[in-house]
Amino acid sequence: MAAAQADLPPASDNISTLIAKFAAKGLDLRDLTALSGAHTVGSARCVNFRQHVYNEANVDPAFAMFRRRICPASGGDSNLAALDPTSPNRFDVSYYRDLMVRRALLHSDQELFNGGPADDLVRLYSNNGGAFNRDFSAAMVKLGNLSPLTGSTGEIRLNCRRAN
């Protein structure tokens, strides 16, 4: 768990920090933007998005108000909200469309569409699911090849939550 937390960027990272962390692993801006699309499914804990919906200007006010109902200003740290409010259970491009209308749950996600270097890729993926799927697949292969465990040092788990 400690190794995962050391390598996964926190929700508070800005675009420059995200780019640097991905580059340190041999991944580029296209990889970062495509892999972030995995946030089209899943959820985040209130403690990870509270700052964004209460204190930041680059979030749609109605969206922030809606998320504040789930996440009080104090307490409720473990309350969950969907990362992609449009289609939380479908792997699609709605995540990128949400970014374009300032409806990212996490600060780090909204950084991908905030007048910076990833804006063009977000626009591309929001309108071209094929481009997103190709780039996501390629980035996942690159990610999977980072320090893979082989032989007796790793295992393919029958159940991801426990060792065989």
Tens of pLDDT, residue by residue over 77-129, are 999 999 999 999 999 999 999 999 999 999 999 999 999 999 999 999 999 99
Residue 1 identity:
M
Distance CA 97, CA 81 (A): 18
Q: Residue 157 corresponds to which amino acid?
A: R
- Show binding-site residues: 9, 39-40, 84, 92
Which of these, 25, 34, 32, lies nearest to 135 by C-alpha position? 34
Binding residues for Ca(2+) are 40, 84, 92
Please give the annotated binding residues for substrate, written as ranges: 9
Which tokens sit at 96?
């990128």
Query: Which residues sit in the known binding site for heme b?
Result: 39
Length of the chain: 164
The reply to whether the predicted model has a pTM over 0.85 is yes
